[in-house]
Amino acid sequence: MGNILASLTRILIACGCLVTAAAMGLSLSGSSLCSSGGCKIVEDYLSVDPIFMYALGFLFFCLLFVAEHKEKLRQYGPPLLMFALAVEGYLVGFQLFVIHAVCFLCVTVALIVVTIGLLKLFGESRRPIINGFLLLMLTCSLVGFINIPSAPIPSGGHDVLIYSKECPHCEEVIRFSKKSGIQLTLYEVNKVRNMMVWLGIDAVPVLICNDATDKKIYIGSTKIEKVLAAKYGHHAYEVLKPIASPPKAPPQLKHKAVTKRSEKKSEAPAADGHDILKNTEESVFPLEENDATCSTNRETDGTCK
């Protein structure tokens, strides 16, 4: 019986080495062993390259393989497995309770580790394995208890701007809204990252025009400022007025300035301050909204990844 359990354990360890090595090799080639939506979501949450996690998994199975085959190192196998079970508890809890998505590659590795642990319960040095399973349940439960869900986007009320503190385009939109007297509800991107990942949005700023029964999403400072100006046109007029209105020239220079402009474009009549403001408002901030502006816009202009 002991030989059978030892053989099954070694087979599972070899499978773990192969799976993590394959994941690491495909990651180096720009591909992935797991192409499901859950795997991509988990990768988006990693602060390091996924290959680093695959390398750690491969190293763990290699060390476990050596400990299993070397009599002098066999005593280090159970503590190593106990540590792996505790780590798997955190990773499984994170997927179940935080991002609500499952990476099949991660689940496969976790099942291999748990199965090896179950087989080791029938051998010697069972105490570290029992402690490992207790740590697995404890870490998984703690992640669920201390998890702070993403802040929900309320329906109705002010429009919502999702921003990042390191994004200059976000600061530009915030300054524009303040100068225009437009009230926006601000959400830092880390508080709604789950929603951003699910929507496939990887850039800020993001404006959510928040109606009671409908939400319209716009991406990029250029697009957002146009939408805000179209929705709150009289505010945008006040912001543009000091910028678009030409400075009053002295009487002796006024005729000269107009003459010079006429020489460059004789076919166009000279415009006064009111006409310049009107043309600027129409070209930069169109006030008519059509169906195209109601769909999710993925402009790359004016965004921070």
Same domain assignment for residues 175 and 123: no
Q: One-letter amino acid identity for 97?
A: F
Same domain assignment for residues 172 and 76: no
Q: Which domain holds residue 170?
A: 159-294
- The predicted model gives 146-175 an average pLDDT of 78
Indicate the residue among 146, 174, 202 that finishes a domain. Answer: 146
Confidence bin at 25 (pLDDT 50/70/90): very high
Whether 257 has a pLDDT exceeding 70, the answer reads no
Is 305 within the bounds of a domain?
no
DSSP classification of residue 166: T
The pLDDT tens digits of the residues spanning 56-107 come to: 999 999 999 999 988 888 889 999 999 999 999 999 998 888 777 788 999 9
Whether 144 has a pLDDT exceeding 90, the answer reads no
186 and 246 Cβ atoms separated by less than 8 Å:
no
Same domain assignment for residues 168 and 257: yes
31 and 38 Cβ atoms separated by less than 8 Å:
no
Can you read off the two tokens belonging to residue 153? Answer: 């986007």
Greater confidence (130 vs 235) lies with 130
Overall size of the chain counted in residues = 305
Same domain assignment for residues 8 and 142: yes
Q: One-letter amino acid identity for 163?
A: Y
Indicate the residue among 98, 116, 146 that finishes a domain. Answer: 146
Domain count across the chain: 2
What pLDDT is stored for residue 188 in this prediction? 85
What pLDDT is stored for residue 286 in this prediction? 29
Same domain assignment for residues 12 and 124: yes
Beta 215-219 vs 184-188: how paired, if at all? unpaired
Whether 272 has a pLDDT exceeding 70, the answer reads no
Q: Which of 197, 170, 202 is nearest to 184 (CA)?
A: 170
Same domain assignment for residues 245 and 290: yes
Q: What is the spatial distance between Cα 206 and Cα 186, in angstroms, rounded to a whole number?
A: 10
Same domain assignment for residues 128 and 264: no
Same domain assignment for residues 140 and 6: yes
The CATH number of residue 72's host domain is 1.20.1440.130
Burial class of residue 225 in the structure, from the number of CB atoms within 10 Å of its CB (0-12 exposed, 13-18 middle, 19+ buried): buried
Q: Which of these ranges, 85-99, 153-167, 254-268, has the smallest mean pLDDT?
A: 254-268
The CATH number of residue 188's host domain is 3.40.30.10
The pLDDT tens digits of the residues spanning 181-231 come to: 888 888 888 777 777 877 778 888 999 887 666 778 899 988 999 888 888
What share of the chain has pLDDT > 70, as a percent?
Answer: 71
197 and 44 Cβ atoms separated by less than 8 Å:
yes
Same domain assignment for residues 169 and 250: yes
- The single residue listed with the structure tokens 């935080």 is 98
Same domain assignment for residues 163 and 226: yes
Can you read off the two tokens belonging to residue 39? Answer: 């795997």
What is the distance of C-alpha 214 from the center of its chain? 23
Q: What is the spatial distance between Cα 302 and Cα 188, in angstroms, rounded to a whole number?
A: 17
Q: Which of these ranges, 3-17, 51-65, 259-273, has the smallest mean pLDDT?
A: 259-273
- The predicted model gives 266-276 an average pLDDT of 35
What pLDDT is stored for residue 83 in this prediction? 95
- What pTM was computed for the model? 0.55
Q: What is the spatial distance between Cα 19 and Cα 54, in angstroms, rounded to a whole number?
A: 9
Computed over every residue of the chain, the mean pLDDT equals 75
Whether 137 has a pLDDT exceeding 90, the answer reads yes
| Tally of CA atoms within 13 A in the half-sphere of 297 that contains its CB | 26
168 and 304 Cβ atoms separated by less than 8 Å:
yes
Other residues' Cβ atoms within 10 Å of the Cβ of residue 45:
14
Which string of DSSP letters, residue by residue, matches 232-248? SHHHHHHHHHHHHSPPP
Q: Which of 223, 222, 225, 227 is nearest to 239 (CA)?
A: 225
Same domain assignment for residues 191 and 224: yes
Confidence bin at 295 (pLDDT 50/70/90): very low
- The single residue listed with the structure tokens 């769909």 is 295
271 and 279 Cβ atoms separated by less than 8 Å:
yes
Confidence bin at 300 (pLDDT 50/70/90): very low
What pLDDT is stored for residue 215 in this prediction? 76
What pLDDT is stored for residue 134 in this prediction? 96
